Amino acid sequence: MKNIVFRVSLVVLALMAVSCKEKSQDVAMATNTATKERPNIIYIMADDLTTQAISAYGGIYKDIAPTPNIDRIASEGMLFQDVLCTNAICGPSRAAILTGNYSNRNGYYKNESGGKFDRSQWTFPQEFQKNGYQTSLFGKWHLGTEPAGFDTFKYHNSAGQQGHYWNPTFNENGKDVKEEGYSTNLSTDFAMQWLQEGRKQDAPFMMVLQYKAPHRPWQPDTKYEDLWEDIEMPYPSTFNDDYKGRELTAGDTEMTMEYFSRRDMKYKEPENLKGKEKIQWAFYGAKKGEIVQPEGMTAEEGRKWRYQTYIKDYLACVKSVDDNIGRVLKYLDDNNLADNTIIVLTSDQGFYLGDHGFFDKRFIYEESIRMPFILKYPGVVKPGTQNEDIITNIDFAPTLLDLADIETDQDMHGKSFEPILKGNTPADWEQGMYYHYYEWPYWHHVQPHYGIRTQKYTLAHFYYNIDVWELYDLEKDPEQMNNIINDPAYATVVTDLKKQLKNLMIKYENNKSLADFRKITDTDFGSIVDKKDDETSVQDVLTGGNDKEKGK
């Protein structure tokens, strides 16, 4: 009996020791938080980077194409599983992130004919700058107007601000400069130079590093061009989706494996092509009925060949992004900055890597709205943690300001998730996301739609020239293959979700009529840039200049 009591006592003591250790760690973190100097912030955003391409998120490429430096940020910080984009396309997402507001408030609805971002409105970098932070921007901007709130900037300023992978032109503090080299490396070079020489060493900084990669046309650095030449990449489980029950939506796009161009597939361009003729040759394949593949292949062989070419190039571009993130991490380590620097790794939305037979984004479906988001903040965010709360891109701005202890009276749709970073989800945290995509039909012919995404369901209404509702049970059908909108068993669910959706549209000031939404789609807000070059004439080449036939 005494032995039993003794052993029980030992167990109790052990449990008490563990509890005390955990409490002491929590106290240490709280103390660290209270005594910290204002943190530096490095916000890293890669264009069209998706969770499927990051090994920390798992997936079919994780062992073939690992991302060790991005994974390191996850292992030393928090990895988010359910960060979602409110309008899954480059420019509108960037505007939402900068302002903390939906497209209907920040005025930036779409890429094509979406005009320029209104730089007179408030953005979070301006608030950092006003509060004594040194601010900088390097890489991709893609919003038309000159960045506000940055002490220094160097951003891609060719091809409609998409930029080029090789020998790109950057707007460097107001002056266009053509640089020699690979864009991912160059953007990091600029960042490193500023960290080493361009900033005051004794003041906090907020640096925005936004890579062009891995955006189309997926051109790898020379050393990675043939990285996976001798292997066949695995195929997503939904690669052969037949779009049954979704024929008018997912089944009616121009983003399947049949829409890759000669440029995408790395065909060698004939010499002496110029102007319109050059663009016509390069973009052959982007229109319906133009199939690019080697002679002698069957349709199925060609489809797989195009996927293999695409996925290898895409992942090779990601590898360079990961390499360059490693350069930034090493600098922080070598200069004793790691402990007081917040690092954010994200993208402007998700992307399809052959999932559902697609490339690109835009849909409310999981692969396109789910953004990679990883945040490291030593002493505040526990290493190796994960979170599954619904967070959206409009929440980034208020959160970054909170972490820097910057108070603002700026009204934002978004809400700070700083408590979530510390393991405390607020009781009133929003349980669903309102989504709205407006662009049609150029590029990729995706019907405008709005909807709600909760942790269990996705409900969407496609409305431009069709009237189609879709419902997906994400627990039973995580791949979203079965549209159950007409299943009687879900009638009550549909009613409840439509009510939630209506409330969110009211909350975010976008409870408009379908006619009003269509008017936004039809409105030409102007071009993102005023100056024309070969790349900005692509639309005219592909559509013959007929606006009504864009993307057809």
- For 368-395, how does the pLDDT look when each residue is reduced to its tens digit (9 = 90+)? 999 999 999 999 999 999 999 999 999 9
pLDDT of residue 531: 77
Q: What is the CA radius of gyration of the chain?
A: 24
pLDDT of residue 410: 97
pLDDT of residue 381: 98
Average pLDDT over residues 352-357: 98
Measured CA to CA, the distance from residue 118 to residue 115 in angstroms comes to: 9
Cis peptide before 441 (omega within 30 of 0): yes
Measured CA to CA, the distance from residue 159 to residue 169 in angstroms comes to: 9
Percent of the chain having pLDDT more than 70? 90
pLDDT of residue 122: 98
pLDDT of residue 14: 42
Measured CA to CA, the distance from residue 281 to residue 292 in angstroms comes to: 11
Measured CA to CA, the distance from residue 232 to residue 284 in angstroms comes to: 26
Asked if pLDDT for residue 534 goes beyond 80, the answer is no
Measured CA to CA, the distance from residue 42 to residue 254 in angstroms comes to: 36
- Tens of pLDDT, residues 143-152: 999 999 999 9
pLDDT of residue 6: 38
User: 281 burial class (0-12, 13-18, 19+ CB within 10 angstroms)?
Assistant: middle
Average pLDDT over residues 485-508: 98
541: confidence class by pLDDT, cuts 50, 70, 90: low
Q: Determine which of 6-15, 252-261, 505-514 has the lowest per-residue pLDDT on average.
A: 6-15
pLDDT of residue 36: 61
DSSP 530: S
Asked if pLDDT for residue 350 goes beyond 70, the answer is yes
Measured CA to CA, the distance from residue 205 to residue 213 in angstroms comes to: 24
Task: Give the position of tokens 């593949």.
Answer: 293
Average pLDDT over residues 99-114: 97
pLDDT of residue 437: 98
Measured CA to CA, the distance from residue 550 to residue 225 in angstroms comes to: 33
Percent of the chain having pLDDT more than 90? 87
Average pLDDT over residues 424-437: 97
9: confidence class by pLDDT, cuts 50, 70, 90: very low
With CA atoms as reference, report the closest residue to 503 among 447, 405, 431: 431
Q: Which amino acid is residue 463, in one-letter code?
A: Y
Asked if pLDDT for residue 459 goes beyond 80, the answer is yes
Residue 70's Cβ-side half-sphere holds a number of Cα atoms within 13 Å equal to: 31
Q: Determine which of 26-30, 104-108, 177-181 has the lowest per-residue pLDDT on average.
A: 26-30
- Tens of pLDDT, residues 38-76: 999 999 999 999 999 999 999 999 999 999 999 999 999
547: confidence class by pLDDT, cuts 50, 70, 90: very low
Asked if pLDDT for residue 19 goes beyond 60, the answer is no
Query: What is the average pLDDT value for the chain, to the nearest integer?
Result: 92
Greater confidence (506 vs 25) lies with 506
Measured CA to CA, the distance from residue 412 to residue 249 in angstroms comes to: 32
pLDDT of residue 275: 84
128: confidence class by pLDDT, cuts 50, 70, 90: very high
pLDDT of residue 1: 40
pLDDT of residue 537: 65
544: confidence class by pLDDT, cuts 50, 70, 90: low
Confidence (pTM): 0.92
pLDDT of residue 372: 98
pLDDT of residue 10: 39
445: confidence class by pLDDT, cuts 50, 70, 90: very high
197's CB contacts (< 8 A; 6+ apart) are none
pLDDT of residue 551: 36
pLDDT of residue 519: 98
